[in-house]
Structure 1
């Protein structure tokens, strides 16, 4: 085993501990983190870089974080062939929800999602691929 530390805001850690307690099947915080790591690895293995995929990317971010809005736009302009549509919603004075409908070769779609979700200021995000070329007959 390797020991490492993680820094997290008090309220986030409190909510995580509450989730662990509700599940009841996790012995401790370390096991819960290991479960998250295993789930992340499994999700990564399901990527289909050589297949045609369609999906959606959902992001919640604080548009007051540095020049995040400009950086989001710059990345999206590099993937105009993959972005079918976008929807932008102002949640409150600081937070925005952005949803991108995506279509294209898996490698490019996953690359786009990784670049956007890796930007500082993106609080939450998830890529969901709904179908591949074979399942839709595209």
Structure 2
């Protein structure tokens, strides 16, 4: 584990009360753990904005009976083979499928892939979850 540093901060009572409610609702063991997560989240957002390397998952549902949709989705995925690590395909019912796509690359490339998939007619929902790549 890295060397730990202690520091003090001053907050308004209303802000610390709201933070403590957040900590309790999220089941954090301490303010330090919650604050570490908030800092990591902000640093990840900065990394995303600056086009840094990220990893994540694209989760989408779609109607596989939509004409030419499967071919279009596969063509897009082949265009991003450097970004896609793996995919998992799940049949939800006779008409609908769930696809989970593990991705790693620049934030711009990952977002471009997600956008190209999302705008296809027949894609019911798509969400992108990102994390740090290292």
Q: Which residue number in structure 2 is paired with residue 104 of structure 1?
A: 105
Aligned to 2:57: 56
The Cα RMSD (Å) is: 1.9
Contact 2:47-2:53 within 8 A present in 1 as well: no
What is the CA deviation profile of residues 76-96 of structure 1, one whole-angstrom value per residue up to 9, with x for unaligned ones?
Answer: 000000000000000110000
Q: For each residue in 1:56-88, what CA deviation from the matched residue of structure 2 results, as whole angstroms up to 9, or x when unmatched?
A: 000000011111000000000000000000000
Q: Runs of 5+ in structure 1 lacking a partner?
A: 1-44, 133-137
Alpha-carbon distance, 1:125 to partner: 0.8
The offset of 1:47, in angstroms, is 4.4
Seen in structure 2, the aligned counterparts of structure 1 residues 94 and 112 have a Cα distance that, compared at 3 Å, is: same
Larger radius of gyration: 2
> Relative to 1, partners in 2 of residues 1:110 and 1:49: Cα closer, same or farther, differing over 3 Å?
farther
Tell me the secondary structure at the aligned position of residue 96 of structure 1: strand
Moved over 3 A (4+): none
TM-score, structure 1 normalization: 0.61
Partner of 1:90 in structure 2?
A: 91
